[in-house]
A and B are shown apart, each in its own frame.
Chain A
Amino acid sequence: MIVSNTGKYTVVSLLVNGSSQDIMIRSADTLLCTLRNQLGLTGAKQACGNGDCGACTVLVDGKPMHSCLLLTMEALNSGITTIEGLRHSPVRQAFVDNWAIQCGYCTPGFIVNGHALVTEHPDAEDERIEEWLQSNLCRCTGYQEIKDAIKSALNANNLLDSNGIDTAEQ
């Protein structure tokens, strides 16, 4: 795939939440920018634009990535899952049930990252939870309720499918 780097747009297709979508990108477009501006998937937030806060976290082939640090063209051959594709994740419900949400701005990034953790490490202990979630910042909660939510989801351990993709929402 050759994407113009002259500021002109190129039509490419991107696999997001299980469906392939045609989009127009510039070579400099980040995945975050494309998801938000081209596909209207605004659940991933820009809060630092620098990989420091995790508010833009999405899954790329199941791995949590900062979409502000990825170029869209780097993700063209991958399957991307955003918060919008995780409606039935037990992690999402656990955040609601455990009062882990206040302003809600960091929430999608935490849920996406937490979903990946629960999928990859269903037996995660405190140390791994801590290491995994240090990439995300929350300014409202003090993390206690987020920790409770992740732990309750780990205990429930009833994910829909092992790829972390919510088939019901495709």
Chain B
Amino acid sequence: MHYGSRTTVGFAEQRIDAVEKSTGNVKYLGDKSFQGMLHAKVATSTEAHARIKSIDTSEAWKVQGVRAIVTGKTFPFPIGPILADRPPIAFDKVRYYGEPIAVIVADHPYQAKQAAGKIVAEYEPLPIVNSVEQAFQKDAPLIHEQSGQYTKLIDNVYPVPGTNIASHVKIRKGEFGKAWAVCKDTISATYSFNLSDHAAMETRTATVEINSDGRVIVHSTSQSPFTIKKIFNQFFNLDVGKVIVHIPMLGGAFGGKGAVQLEPLAYLASNAVGGKLVKLQFEREEDMMTAPCHIGFNATVKLGVNEEGKLIAGQYTFLIEAGAYSDQAAGITRAAALDCTGPYHIPNVWCDSYCMYTNHPYATSFRGYGHPELTFAIERTIDQFADKLQMDPIEFRLLNVIKPGQTTPTQSILTPNNIGDAAKCMTRAKELIGWDGKQPIVSENGLVRAKGVALFWKTSTTSTNAQAGAILKFEADGTVTLTSAAVELGQGTKTILAQIAAERLKMNVSDIHVTMEVNTQYTPHQWRTVASSTTFLAGNAVLAAADDAIRQLKRIGAVALQCSEEDLDVGNGRVYIKAKPDIGINIETVALGYKYPNGHTVGGQVIGIGVHVQRHLTPMDKETGFGDPGPWWSVGAQAVEIEWDESNYHYKIVKAVTVLDGGTIINPMTAAQQMRGGIFLGLSIARGESFEFNEQGVIQNPDLRTYQLMRFGEQPDEYIVEFVETPAEDGPFGARGIGEYGVIGAAAALANGLSLATNVELTQLPLTPELIWRTRRAAYDPV
């Protein structure tokens, strides 16, 4: 394919949302108020695992302004995106501290909050499952007694009744047992970390109004507008077409807004007040304790090599902590399995990936969907193995890196089109971090400098029929309005789609007007804005819509110019004769149809429509994992240089390098934003973020003072971002997805560097000075 020299794709076009965001004028959902709006508040469980004996609402009703109180009895059915295991409001049992037990609707937020504090629940406490390791034990208390009876909404979820296993996904490739027996050398290591939080700056919010004609109007801070419609249809028995979802721009999401939690609560609340508009906005503590969070993880990795140092066998046991309900953790369990090896060619693979219930807040998708987590385990093991084999860790990686012609754990065949160049990324990252094998370097003042690297990959595990659509509507002046259901959550997707449209239409990007909000009544269907899938899916849909519009412009232009359509080309605001470019007409004279001098008009408005759907994806086989779960693998390498202070165990991050092959880069500046922000997020989580639970399963740090995000000044002194651009034949202008990738190798690279500096193997997160101290004490000074 050749489109000639490009004019906007590949250029750093300014984000179309930047100016408006800088003025404070952008209206996020919490900034909108609606006439006559009522306010909802959740009352939440004070037990992590208990039977509900009674809920007394009588005192709450006495608070002025209270209009309704809804408890689990109103809708005692479980819902969910993959496995329907979660009642929107707890009934019979509570399974985590902070779980909604009632929703109060009142005139003002403070009244609803006062009333929520007066809900009195009586519980019969049950034994608490307080860790994923405990959940996996045979005699562990059961959190879901009926898990075998839950409705499955997608393929590839396999609960094991009578256990806390919400899903068990298997990979069986080659003959692991035989290969393991003949390995020249092997290694085995175990890793773990707790649940943590997305901590998007905007907390989750939803409003619902039920019109008298039965239409349900939802406004939400969601990455999944069409999933809301689907879930309302499946569980509330509403017509899909009668559920209308509006999504404004989001104040960050990171996967946490892919889950559907507040919308059903707001629906039940609105239903209880005759359909009036009800707003449910989580405060920070609720957003951390009640709303879904980031998975916890426990992994055991076993690797074996042959004489040449090539990996021939890999065994992976993942315990994905879902918390109280499976939500997207069931999907993450599958995603972690299908990419379990990392970007290495390993012919014999055995993986058991378990989605585990615990009595903690439930988890959902988090930027990277299982990959930052598995990469931490894989890349730490690779480093330890290289050390054991006395090889340079980068050389060991390059020896084993996966290449076109080889197969993934699910036996998908890799081609130069569907995977980027991991070796090139690794080699470039090595140069950028200044890797010379001489480390750590100890200075006289007790500061230890070390570098760590990580290699990673990820496919975009969408549903097999995931799709997006786009509409390009020509205005009277020849400019274009672009509409799609891609949610702008900070990643810059609206700018990217405008660039793709402008490039194909050969227009200025400033002449593409993009609808920033999503309204499911007008926008075409889009699977969800997750999985780094939007540039690929919606971008291809925009290309198809542009081609459709170009066909229409040529058809009308052929009438106006009295020639055949084949003679024509479109560009620079004109429809013109290819062979004689000076003969043509301006697009504005055909945008609404061509009007002859006598007033007769032909054509009508040019409206380009395009849809793109995933091609040839398949579910995974239950016993072996065999299948084609994703369209392509973006790959990358990251490297981190740290300086650790022996005297107090603190460290600073000096440099953070990311080299990614995501195919063609549509906008180098927004892409660099994503990579810097991605590695920052990964480093922030790895360095200091984790929910702390007490013995009662209660989070001890549910706010941004005690749960510590990286603050200004704690970020790396220097970020370096580069791209290798191996084009994908079927991506828009050769692009693959990149949105999640910056985060994936961060924890692994940091932990590898710190392990070198501190001379102990760090196998847990977060990498606090205390963890380093404990690990060293256990290694060198056992009590």
Q: Chain A interface (Cβ within 8 Å of chain B)?
A: 7, 28, 36-37, 41-50, 52-53, 55, 82-84, 87, 92-93, 95-96, 99, 101-108, 111, 130-131, 133-134, 136-147
Q: Is the CB of A101 within 8 A of B201?
A: no
Chain B residues with Cβ below 8 Å from A138 are 201, 712
**Measured CA separation A68–B199 after assembly (Å):** 18
Question: B31 is contacted by which of A42, A47, A50 (Cβ under 8 Å)?
Answer: A42
User: With A46-B30, A139-B681, A145-B673 given, is the CB distance from A87 to B23 under 8 Å?
Assistant: yes
Using Cβ atoms and an 8 Å threshold, which residues of chain B touch A96? 14, 18-19, 22
B251 contacts A105, C-beta separation under 8 Å: yes
Query: A45: which of B14, B15, B201 is its contact (CB, 8 Å)?
Result: B201
The CA of A103 and the CA of B252, in the complex, are separated in Å by 5
Residue ranges of B at the interface with A (Cβ–Cβ < 8 Å): 14-15, 17-19, 21-28, 30-31, 33, 64, 110, 199-203, 249-254, 283-284, 489-492, 669-670, 672-673, 676-677, 679-681, 703-705, 709, 711-713, 715-716, 719
Known contacts being A53-B201, A140-B677, is A42 close to B27, with CB within 8 Å? Answer: yes
**Given known contacts A139-B254, A142-B679, A104 and B26 CB-to-CB distance under 8 angstroms:** yes
Point out the residues of chain A lying under 8 angstroms from B719, CB to CB: 142, 144
Is A48 touching B284 in the complex (CB atoms < 8 A)?
yes
Residue of A with least CB distance to B491 = A102
A83 touches B23 (CB 8 A): yes
B251 near A45 (CB under 8 angstroms)? Answer: yes
Specify the chain A residue showing the minimal Cβ separation from B31. A42
The reply to whether A136 and B22 form a contact with Cβ atoms under 8 Å apart is: no
- Chain A neighbourhood of B15, CB < 8 A: 99, 101
CB-based contact A137/B711 at 8 Å: yes
Number of A-B contacts (CB under 8 A): 158
User: Of all chain A residues, which has the CB nearest B709?
Assistant: A137
Q: Complex Cα distance A63/B516, Å?
A: 34
Distance in Å: Cβ of B179 to nearest Cβ of chain A: 41
Q: Are A142 and B715 in contact (CB under 8 A)?
A: yes
The answer on a CB contact under 8 Å between A45 and B110 is no
Residues in A neighbouring B199, C-beta threshold 8 A: 139
- The one of A82, A102, A111 that contacts B490, using a Cβ cutoff of 8 Å: A102
Whole-angstrom distance between the Cβ of B705 and the nearest chain A Cβ: 5
User: In the docked arrangement, what's the CA distance between A137 and B715, Å?
Assistant: 12
Judge whether A104 and B17 touch: CB under 8 Å: yes
Q: Which residues of A contact B254 (CB under 8 A)?
A: 139
Q: For the complex, give the distance between the alpha carbons of A105 and B22 in Å.
A: 10
Contacts of A144 in B (CB 8 A): 676, 715, 719
Q: How far is the CB of B738 from chain A (nearest CB, A)?
A: 14
The answer to whether B202 and A103 touch across the interface, beta carbons within 8 angstroms, is: yes
Q: Which residues of B contact A105 (CB under 8 A)?
A: 28, 200-202, 251-252, 490
Asked whether A104 and B19 contact (CB < 8 A) given A50-B284, A50-B705, A143-B715, the answer is: no
* Complex Cα gap A144–B27 (Å): 26
Choice from A41, A95, A102 contacting B677 with Cβ under 8 Å = A102
